[in-house]
């Protein structure tokens, strides 16, 4: 019990109201943070679900106002999905990677491979007629939020914008980072050595993805309504890199 144990604490912010287009996310998250009694410190990382960013950025689309292209109609027929929804998915995608009944996996405009290009029908007020797109640029949204928090608190916090995403060979979604600011989203261990002095074979760690997964443990998928989690106690040595670094370059992709 001599030296303190390395520890990380995750605290959910539960007082965040339902977000409306145009809302000042940084102000609302700051108020929720203050209500927890936690005083932000250098090195804290605030994880925010992309949904509230998308809502503040008014990334809603109304299915009734979409005219499906012939391509969208064909894919809708093949997958059993709504043709207007498929049109929106295609407009958010660079290409369709796989599709089958009830499933479209595509490369989102950001380069991320995921189901439905991240277009979301859950937790969207108005039910089935409106859907919610991913933030236009989640790294930029992260940087803006980080700057606003730095101004409010005078501390150097990191920000991660998260989503729940499926995997190629595993059941269940896990938290991943769509955006990041102020942290090395991808950590590079090249040149470091293990306990035996051997150079490490594993050279890169998806740091921001692991942070997002940790935060998702508290956020919940259903009706919990905890859109933000403060992570305290993380340590890193690398300089900040955005979440774009987590996306594997197309030419290195063996699986499409």
For the segment 70-109, give every residue that binds a second copy (CB under 8 A).
Answer: 98, 100, 105
Cβ-based burial of 216 (10 A; exposed 0-12, middle 13-18, buried ≥19): buried
Q: Does 145 bind a second copy (CB under 8 A)?
A: no
DSSP conformation class of 212? H
Q: Which span sits near a second copy by CB under 8 A: 55-63, 70-78, 137-145, 187-195?
A: 187-195
Q: Does 248 bind a second copy (CB under 8 A)?
A: yes
- What is the C-alpha separation between 20 and 47, in angstroms, rounded? 19
Q: Which residue lies nearer to a second copy by CB, 150 or 205?
A: 205
242-253 as b/e, with b when 16 or more CB fall inside 10 Å? bbbbbeeeeeee
**Whole-Å CA distances, 197 to 6, 179, 191, 200, 237:** 23, 34, 11, 9, 19
Q: Which span sits near a second copy by CB under 8 A: 19-27, 72-80, 147-155, 161-169?
A: 161-169
Q: How far is the CB of 90 from a second copy (least distance, A)?
A: 18
Q: At 103, is the secondary structure helix, strand, or coil?
A: strand
Q: How far is the CB of 163 from a second copy (least distance, A)?
A: 10
Which of residues 87, 92, 139, 216 is near a second copy by CB under 8 A? 216
Q: Which span sits near a second copy by CB under 8 A: 32-40, 65-73, 140-148, 151-159?
A: 32-40
Which of residues 43, 234, 238, 240 is near a second copy by CB under 8 A? 234
């Amino acid at each position: 019990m001599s030296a303190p144990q390395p520890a990380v604490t995750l605290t959910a912010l539960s007082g965040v109201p339902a977000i409306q287009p145009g809302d000042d996310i940084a102000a609302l998250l700051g108020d929720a943070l203050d209500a927890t009694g936690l005083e932000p410190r250098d090195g804290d990382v605030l994880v925010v679900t992309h949904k509230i960013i998308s809502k503040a950025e008014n990334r809603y689309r109304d299915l009734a106002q979409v005219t499906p292209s012939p391509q969208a109609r064909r894919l809708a027929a093949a997958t059993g999905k709504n043709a207007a929804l498929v049109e929106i998915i295609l407009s958010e995608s660079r290409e369709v990677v796989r599709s089958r009944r009830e499933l479209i996996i595509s490369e989102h405009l950001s380069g991320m491979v995921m189901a439905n290009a991240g277009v979301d029908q859950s937790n969207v007020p108005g039910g089935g007629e409106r859907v919610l797109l991913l933030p236009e640029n989640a790294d930029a949204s992260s940087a803006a939020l980080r700057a606003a928090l730095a101004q409010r608190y005078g501390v150097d916090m990191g920000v991660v914008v998260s989503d729940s995403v499926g995997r190629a060979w595993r059941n269940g979604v896990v938290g991943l980072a769509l955006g990041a600011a102020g942290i090395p989203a991808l950590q590079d261990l090249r040149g470091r050595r293990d306990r035996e002095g051997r150079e490490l074979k594993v050279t890169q760690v998806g740091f921001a993805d692991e942070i997002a997964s940790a935060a998702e443990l508290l956020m919940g998928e259903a009706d919990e309504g905890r859109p933000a989690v403060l992570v305290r106690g993380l340590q890193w040595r690398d300089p900040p890199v955005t979440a774009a670094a987590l996306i594997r370059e197309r030419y290195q992709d063996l699986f499409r």
